[in-house]
Structure 1
Amino acid sequence: MNFNHSLELTQSQKLTMTTGLKQSLTILNMNKLEVEEEIKRESEENPLLEVERIGEINWEEYIKDIEKTIKLDRNEINYNPDNDINLENMIKYSSSIYEHLHLQINLYKLSDKEMEVCEYIIDSLDEDGYLRSDENEIVDILKIDKELFESCLLNIQQLEPSGVGARNLSECLIIQMQNLGVYNEILEEIVSKDLNLIASNKYKEISKKYNMSLQKCVNLINIIKMLDPKPGRSCCIEKSIYVQPDVIVEKIDNEFVVYSSTNDTCKIKINNFYREILKNSQSDDDAKEFIKEKLNSATGLIKNIENRKTTILRIAEQIVKSQEQFFRKGIKYIRPMRMKDIAEKLDFHESTISRGVNGKYMLTPFGMFEFRYFFTSALETKDDICASSTSIKKIIKEKIEKENKKKPLSDDQIAKLLKEDGVNVARRTIAKYREELGILSSSKRKQY
């Protein structure tokens, strides 16, 4: 064997993921709310970072203004010191199905044991208002007999919203019918045994089975369809997240102008106090080192947030250029577009575009749209012009909205209508788009 020792010089390229680059990519991928949370988190850890809240209400000044204009007479009979305004008591309140039911059951005259069982049953309900837990298990845990359990469950089933405490869908609907005074034996039979036929709109089969006219069958089923299959949801107050646009598109002198939204809730800057410490030659070296580290972190965050805004704005401008017909004429004129197309035009990597559109919103003359909405696949038309999947879905939805409800369009018929308009779409593609739009099949859309 030949062992030779020698030095060789080779060139190679590799990407090193620095902390700054990683933070830059992470911030670009964030939506507005996440960026604000990141700023809040960083400001709590970094004393050099100053966060100025925009649009915050100065409650102390607000209360002082109220006191100047409204004089309370403390000698009045109706005066109650507990009614004094207390900032700590000013909270946003939202109730749940459980609080709603507990409040109602406390109005019943029940023994301590009955109240204990009722409250346990309420806490065992799911968010839809159903009792999915095993009854025997509840009986064993509470050490009660089945008769007491049934009695307490019946009390729960009398509460509002009607239908809570049911053990299945059929029982839920029957409780509602009883409470509404529309209950009859035929309705109970249909609800108990033939909900699957109702879901499939098989009215003729139901009318034949119960030996009734088709019109009477339709009337009964319409009663059932008026009932709420998830009564617990009607009491839930869900928190709404209000989307704020990252960019705004306006039409000025027949030109579309894109600019960054300025409705940020906070602005960040470097605290000048620590800058003076760095300038002071007599300051402690360890303190200076700490300040330098935090200064680099703070300036890095500010730079990355500004880079995020610039990147998002550039992507938005390119989207508007590529989708000009959409902004002039509407949703049906949206063009097929890929992230790769935008990446090539901006000389960005495709992953940068993906991060730049994730969770970002654009306020347009037609409303608010997520950036991703503008990226759609293409379908060929007879004139070799590409149509986007989004525009095809819009056309399908419009045709279904205008159809004869007693003779709804099948997927095959919709495909033929689109072909007449010059768009060749397979029946299975129509079915796929229809399902994505949440539209039922023709047999289930049929009205009698």
Structure 2
Amino acid sequence: MKKTIEPASSICALLLIATSFAAPKTDAEEPTRTDTGFPVTPVFAAGQDGYNVFRIPAVVRAANDDLLAFCEARQGGDASEIDLVMKRSTDGGNSWGSLQVVQKNSDFRQYVSDAVTEITIGNPAPVVDLIDPEHGGRIWMPFTLENDRVFVIHSDDHGATWSSRHEITPDVKKKAWGWYATGPVHSIQIQRGPHRGRLVVPADHRIGPDGHDGGDLGAHLILSDDHGKTWRLGALDETYDDAIGANETTVVELADGTLYINTRNQLGGKPGTRGEAWSGDGGETLESHDPRWKAFRPASELLDPPVVQGALLAVKDNLIVFSAPDQNGPSGSGRSDLRLRYSADQSKTWLDGPLIYTGPAAYSDLVMVGDQTVGVLFENGDASGKNAYQRISFARVDVGKIQHAGGDQ
């Protein structure tokens, strides 16, 4: 039965929801080295903590340097009962604490009709606000309900507790849009230029009935210029008549303050599986730098992964990194062989970096662990022919190895 959404009740008063602070380490979570040579630590594993599967990772580094790994804790597929959960690392990703439920799907019963038997929340897109003069280090977490409505929560204690939810759907969703997804990947805060401090959340939408995963595809950015007090729509991709079906999107700030936006092309095939655009005004508009394309253009320099989510990260100087499976990797086509790709010239050209994991692999996110290490949080499975959703793991990669000649380690 199609899920239907009832009108929202009034937003509840801001209350802090106490949650247990994660222990520094759990059993049997030691790093192991894969055949690619990188240490990989399991973070979430299917069948643990009362959930059948964990999917859709996102990761940030809190102001106290703890790493916070978020994901969807599911009982089934994309439309099953889903909670938003988190684990914490206090040692740079070498070990991870116990599971913390950030948002429980049953707490959203008031927003859905009685016909809905399985409530779906998800699409985490966290961002750490380090520039807020009143609440420096506040973590914002945009997410969605039923891929239709948009909420935010925040934490002022590095993720130990979270505020009550606040709905922002009327401010960030057009009436014609049905399907809606934030991220799923970390969001960013602009660090330089006239828009310094702005929070930028990558998102996507489809034209059609509420929550319906069908219809024309487009991407957009959600912006906040007052440290999360209010949110609004920024750049919009509404070019529904071209060959780029913008879907899950990721964004990074370049050294000159320009935003580089990369999106999954859900249409696949020609002209490729990725699209790219730039914004010179802090995320208000999109530019393709190609008169043949109105918003996103084919990312021809970024070697095609399969049709899948990907993540961007600004590392240092002119170096930016992109993570996604490599359909030309040793395991063959499809969602397998997670690889880093890099650009040393601010998104103009892209080269293959190291292969992080050989075997089934899918969604991922990236985070800086100190100044010289990139952390990769990614979905994966073993090489026995099973899918890429057996676990979510964390790998550490020295920055110096990303541009290693020949790519693979």
Q: TM-score w.r.t. structure 2 length?
A: 0.23
From the CA coordinates, give the structure whose radius of gyration is larger: 1
Higher RCO structure, 1 or 2 (CA under 8 Å, sep 6+): 1
Q: TM-score w.r.t. structure 1 length?
A: 0.22
